Structure 1
Amino acid sequence: MKTVKEVSELTGISVRTLHYYDEIGLFKPTEVNEAGYRLYDDKAIDKLGQILVFKELDIPLADIKHIMENPGLDSSSVLAKQRKMLCLKKQRIERIIAGIDEMLKGDNMDFKVFDETELQDMFSDMLENMTESQQQIFIDQYGSAENWKKHLLESASDEKVQKNYAKLVEWYGDKDAVKKSMKSAPKSDVFASYQKRMGDIQQRIADMKGTDVNSFEVRQLVGEYDFVAKQLYQLEDSKAFLLDMAKGYQENEELAKGIDLVYGNGAAKYIGEAIEGFYLRG
């Protein structure tokens, strides 16, 4: 039997992480002695090895727990889904490397992410998913739907706007995924329902302020937030998007003030730290 410290030294997993795995029921000790020390036998060590293999593949802890608790489960579907996620990440990294290469060569980066035809199609898809009252707000502002579209197409050539489009491509994995999300976006009433749910979760996270962001309760809330964000924004993987949002909550003073006004003083910083803890310290 090995102590938690010995298991930590053997596997390179911190004692704190092993305690957390015990807390969430992912990896429990074989027994706890009278002095309260966690002890692990060889069978438990083998199980931890399986967990670490899945974790190396970036599979979320909740999915690993489900696999470990259901030995008869066909894990091929989970692995296939994870393979798809890793391929998207690979594409994103390749795009970043290509951009760096261009910068190192001293070339001007081409910020024209979407051409005019693509933007027109995206505008049509966006319009289709809006209610008449929502459309009317923009029609009143620009005089007509055609003027509104013209304004969007003209402003799209701005370098800053194209950088925002590039960020969208980074979040979604590729241009086709962005266009698909526009086409299959939830209708306005469903979208509003998801937005309300996300707001409710943010409030529940803010209410935990003062609690360790790595606690099971906070991580569970962020996990729920991750799930709803995927539904709301039609994302295969919401990690990049939510980490950017978390960064904004902590570094953008105006944004933080707005969040604190809604969810309470210090909410933006705490929510940002909770999201980062979920993805970066899991």
Structure 2
Amino acid sequence: MKVKEVADLVGISVRTLHHYDEIGLLKPEQTSEAGYRLYSDENLETLQQILFFKELDFPLKKIKEIINRPSFDRKEALNFHRKILVERRLRIDKMISTIDMTIEHMKGTIAMTNKEKFEGFDFSHNPYEQEARERWGDEAVDKSNANLASMTKEEQKAMQEEMNAIYRSLASLRHTLPESDEAQAAIQKWYIFLNSNIGIHYSLEAFKGLGEMYVEDERFTESIDQFGEGLAQFMRDAMAYYADNNKK
């Protein structure tokens, strides 16, 4: 199959398939004399596997590493995907049930306990942890987790409130220039907060790289932009300017 046929079949863009080829994630079986990429049935099976991993938020670098291992077993991987997706479905079903009950509770037809209001929520797993390990290594993430675990619930709550206050302050400035004195003073508070509370030290370069991730990863963008649309991009620009202008 030609690249356009594969793209139409799967529902992804031709550009995505070109990117997978360029990074060595999915090489077409052959290229025609006219330069067309030609995909085999085996290529399609590999693509299916890639998209299952992607659905579970695995970064492309990690997917490539996994599927290229000599010990990689496609059937075992499919069983893994199924297990995780079933767990996700059960949690989503539970949250939908909680929403339905909450609506009825608001109507006055049923009474919910405080515990029932939060059925289905699970914050024991950090969805960003795997990617953090990929970018900065296990030691940095383990230090961060250990630092959080050492805090009391009151200390964790206070840290969360301080973090939200900084986000709100930055959100109020997001329509100004990132290099303005006000924006730079606010972003400096964010830099100090991270280095004082997370348990690891961010160099200026790492701080700048973190800002890039706020925009590159839509999960971070969505979370940050809850405080104000465009905040993630504003923070990225302000963090880059801060890092570049505070190097010794």
TM-score, structure 1 normalization: 0.43
Larger RCO (CA under 8 A, 6+ residues apart): 1
Give the alignment's TM-score, normalised by structure 2: 0.48
